[in-house]
Structure 1
Amino acid sequence: MSVSPTGNPPVLVAVDGSEPALAATRWAVEEAVRLHAPLMILSAYGLDDVSFAMRVYPPMEWLEAKKEAAEHMVRDAAAVAAEMAPGLPVHTRVSPLGSVSVLRELSCHVRMLVLGEPGGAVSGLIVGSTSIPVLAGADCPVVIVRGRDRGRPQEGPVVVGVDGSPNSEAAIAQGFAEASARNAPLVAVHTWHDGDTEVLFSQSRARFDWEPLHETEQRVLAERLAGWREQYPDVAVERVVLQDKPRHRLLEWSEKARLIVVGSRGRGGFTGLLLGSTSQALAHHADCTVMVVRHRAA
């Protein structure tokens, strides 16, 4: 796959002809303009769960009809992009692969992947088992345009969930970048609870075991943000530390945020689970757009 002549990776939006996919297209156009990046519009008409062991394959007439429909979808989305941003470079692609396969493949080459809310962009992609490998396995941030953002109000802060895990560090970096690009304040939300043994007995806390736990969490969050605040001095930062489960507080913040950024799997993840409960809850229930960021190991 090629990128733009300037080397700026495109923003990729997946479409299926639905209203949520159209909302995702509008969001992706605005983001591409903001980032001075090209836009790629994709529709995939293959099946991810077809195996070579199957005795019956989809008939060619069915595949041709699906391909024709996919081509129509990307043309419609491209027309929306041209109307919104006439000078924006737009590339379209129709893939015979299954949606999960092609999106994971292209995620290595794009700046971000934009999807509609559940039931939208690439039908069935967010609801059900196919959401897990895409949201957790993509090599770029995955954006789910949902909630009131389908009407595209651009108000409120960018909110990032911070728990101290490697995924959290990647989310912090992305959160600062998104807040800076939008000239928006950043709210860093850090929660803790008594049953979280990794919080209570971590090395960063053991050196200060005389502190009340809430003060310790305030200090730890400030340390996590310090380097990024130096890198993004234009971003006003509010720190929020609360004793609660992260999904509860982040869902509350989604009612007034313009974007929530979280890691794909947090501190409580287990080996073999690809997508954390917090990111799943936000992808399905948040009242604003959600960006899921996967940590890339060195």
Structure 2
Amino acid sequence: MSEEEFRNGPVVVGVDGSPSATEAVCWAAALAARRNLPLRIVHGFSYTHGFYGGDLPVSTEVYAALEEDGRRLLSAAGERARGLEPGLTVETDMPTQPAIPLLVHESQYASVVVLGTSGRGGFAGMLVGSTAVSVVAHARCPVVVVRGRADGGAVPVEGPVVVGVDGSGVSRDAVGVAFREASLREVPLVAVHAGLDVEYDPAPAAAEPDEQRILSEGLAGRQEQYPDVHVERVVVADRPRHQLLEWSARAQLVVVGSRGRGGFRGMLLGSTSQALIHHAQCPVMVVRYRERAD
């Protein structure tokens, strides 16, 4: 399913009470308001939360307290979103399901899933949590991992939208999403094609005219669709992850496909998207193909 077909679902954001999840709620609320879509805030609550070790259940009182804690953080997240974006339609839900399968399930119906970099259960020093990595790898809609600048500052809201272009099918979908985001934000779009985009091919990069052609074909038709978006075209002989990480220090959003034309067949995530969700200095949107339901 192309990017044209997953526009109308809600913006879904996962929360767990961590500071990064709070940042994700704020970012998701702004995105939902900008797209004129409802915001759905979810918290995964599994019965496994009520066990210590393998077979030692906690008391009913403790389990009830954990459940109440989940409802409180959902309520707080909903209030925060409504306070930031008055008039926004906000829904909260706490299915009895672990976070990863819950969010992957939600991705079947969402326009986008938004996550923080790490949850309150993560190890100190982790660059990105296991939930974010797993959801990005398995979701059926675009996923945003909300990241901030390297200096620990706030999540950026200024700068261009940057998109990686490599000629693959999912890259074309990413370009469409990036154009739309740039148009809605009224900012320029930087389209980056790095000539050394076949990560495991030792052959030299293609000639410059070929690289320009790949970029032009990747952008074909989009400028006419979004005439208000100013596009800066960047063609370099470099690895895409290097270039996109550099651009992330100046961007407010980087958009990439989940796996480019240089990845191994069957890979869920390419090296570029993995590098960005771990090291970028702005929110990263990873666009995946969405399969049609039978």
TM range (shorter): 0.7 to 0.9
Aligned alpha-carbon RMSD (Å): 3.0
Match of 1:208 in 2: none
Q: What SS is found at the alignment partner of 2:281?
A: coil
Match of 1:73 in 2: 73
- Whole-angstrom CA distance in 2 between matches of 1:296 and 1:182: 25
Identify if the C-alpha distance between structure 1 residues 37 and 224 changes in structure 2 by more than 3 Å, giving closer, same or farther. same
* Matched residue count: 279
Q: Give deviations 1:238-264, integer Å, cap 9, x for gaps.
A: 110111111111000000011000111
Which residue type is aligned with residue 56 of structure 1?
D
Match of 1:146 in 2: 147
Match of 1:275 in 2: 269
Match of 1:181 in 2: 184
- Whole-angstrom CA distance in 2 between matches of 1:176 and 1:255: 20
Deviation at 1:122, TM superposition (A): 7.9
Q: 226-235 vs 252-261, which deviates more?
A: 226-235
- Whole-angstrom CA distance in 1 between matches of 2:212 and 2:85: 43
- Whole-angstrom CA distance in 1 between matches of 2:20 and 2:57: 27
- Whole-angstrom CA distance in 2 between matches of 1:104 and 1:81: 22
**Pairing 1:156–2:176 present:** no
Match of 1:133 in 2: 134
Instruction: Return the TM-score normalized by structure 1.
Output: 0.83
Q: What SS is found at the alignment partner of 1:44?
A: coil
Deviation at 1:66, TM superposition (A): 2.7
Deviation at 1:234, TM superposition (A): 1.3
Identify if the C-alpha distance between structure 1 residues 60 and 127 changes in structure 2 by more than 3 Å, giving closer, same or farther. farther
**Pairing 1:265–2:259 present:** yes
Which residue type is aligned with residue 30 of structure 2?
E
Q: 98-107 vs 124-133, which deviates more?
A: 124-133
Contact 2:23 2:116 in 1 (8 A): yes
Q: Give deviations 1:219-278, integer Å, cap 9, x for gaps.
A: 221122121112111111111011111111100000001100011112222234211111
Identify if the C-alpha distance between structure 1 residues 70 and 263 changes in structure 2 by more than 3 Å, giving closer, same or farther. same
Match of 2:55 in 1: 56
Q: What SS is found at the alignment partner of 2:235?
A: strand
Identify if the C-alpha distance between structure 1 residues 253 and 109 changes in structure 2 by more than 3 Å, giving closer, same or farther. same
1:1-298 to 2 correspondences below 5 Å: 8-46=8-46, 56=55, 58-59=57-58, 61=60, 63-117=63-117, 119-120=118-119, 127=128, 129-148=130-149, 151-193=154-196, 213-296=207-290
